[in-house]
Structure 1
């Protein structure tokens, strides 16, 4: 039995950007159910069309993408009709933008630069829809290290951390440095299936939606500190 087509909303105040993204997505069988020219339109479109994914620009008139993301995710958490299950994928022109970090903490499932290739755009939308989070590790890490609270400013405590096993804590620390499941498997000499199970259990125990939230939590609780050397290589 074939799955229904993935449904998306594109929110960007530039008509050419919306048209370009619509053509790219449509060519791969992704249905664009609405376009929005500002954040307020995006929130309304999500409530109306119940999309799987929103491609959200940051800088838009009336209501920016950050506040729109907050509202969409708040509606989703509250179970508001039309918002449940929708994932937000942030689009930005800049690879270092404090709005992007804020959007991730507001509930976005990842972000892309607008010069992304068509193939990467389509793959990213599908990754986010599958329930995983899109982490561009080098950019995400730089954003979090630039804007996450420093040690003296941290006050976040997450009791769920005490429920993690030593192995799960190790996986979370490595995940927070931007490693993919495949890289985690190689690093820990585990199968990809085992790593996926560990990640799923971590998210469940901590009440997190995806890997982005896990990375943010790891920094904000001090499990990993800005400036920690990358685990790659």
Structure 2
């Protein structure tokens, strides 16, 4: 495969990543050492890294010590399992956003990553393709959203079991709350949702809070995951 590593040219791409990471701190846990070294030495990345490790245990130590804004992990690790690491970080320090790259592209793995609470789920095969999922995920993470590309959402929808209780909860949402919830599943921030629905950001915040309360979930990530997996016809694909 011929990777398109510089879709905007070196300087433009570097500036874009630097802007997206401004003020952020990162722990990276990548099982392949060559990939980890290449990632850690990337100019926009290295100054934000608080830890670059290859095992789940080391990553948890760095998260416990540094409380980073973002964990970037791969499914395969030297020791441990990337999806289990995401779940552990979600319990250890919920404010840390979790971004995982999956090697296996199948519904079982996708649903496992969603159940673990990953804020951003991407396939490794998307790296170097046009603008790429990675930059889109950084955008969503910066703005407080989640990022699950359509291929991930489709696999989750197709393989999730019917859940009558969840369907009942979703039916209790107002039409506007369903609109906001659908927007959450596509990674839009509150500001972008407000612009799309022609309402204020404060109104969107109120809708998001109401959605979280009605669905009985912890946060907007869990609300988006529930909608993707069990929304059925109530949350149609975009």
Q: TM-score, with normalisation over the residues of structure 2?
A: 0.70
The aligned counterpart of 2:157 is: 145
1:38 and 2:55 aligned: yes
1:98 aligns with 2:98: no
Given the superposition, is the C-alpha separation of residues 61 and 99 from structure 1 closer, same or farther in structure 2, using an over 3 Å criterion? Answer: farther
CA RMSD of aligned residues (A): 3.6
Q: Conserved in 1, the CA contact under 8 Å of 2:60 and 2:85?
A: yes
**CA drift at 1:185:** 5.4
Q: Is the 8 A contact 1:58 1:100 kept in 2?
A: no
Match of 1:7 in 2: 25
Alignment of 1:1-233 (within 5 A): 5-24=23-42, 26-27=43-44, 31-75=48-92, 83-96=93-106, 98-114=108-124, 115-117=126-128, 121-122=134-135, 124-125=137-138, 127-136=140-149, 138-149=150-161, 151=162, 154=163, 156-157=165-166, 161=170, 164-172=173-181, 174-175=182-183, 178=186, 180=188, 182=192, 186=196, 190-191=198-199, 193=201, 196-197=204-205, 200-205=208-213, 206=215, 207-210=217-220, 212-219=221-228, 222-225=230-233, 230=237, 232=238
Q: Secondary structure at the match of 2:80?
A: coil
3-state secondary structure, aligned to 2:76: coil
| Aligned 8 A contact 2:146 2:186 in 1 | no
Query: Are the equivalent residues in 1 in contact too, given 2:211–2:223 (CA < 8 A)?
Result: yes
Runs (5+) with no aligned partner, structure 2: 1-20
Q: 1:107-152 CA distances to partner (integer Å, 9 max, x unpaired)?
A: 110112334348853553353244211221x122222123311x2x
Contact 2:140 2:146 in 1 (8 A): yes
| Structure 1 contact 54–89 (Cα < 8 Å) conserved | yes
1:17 positional shift: 1.3
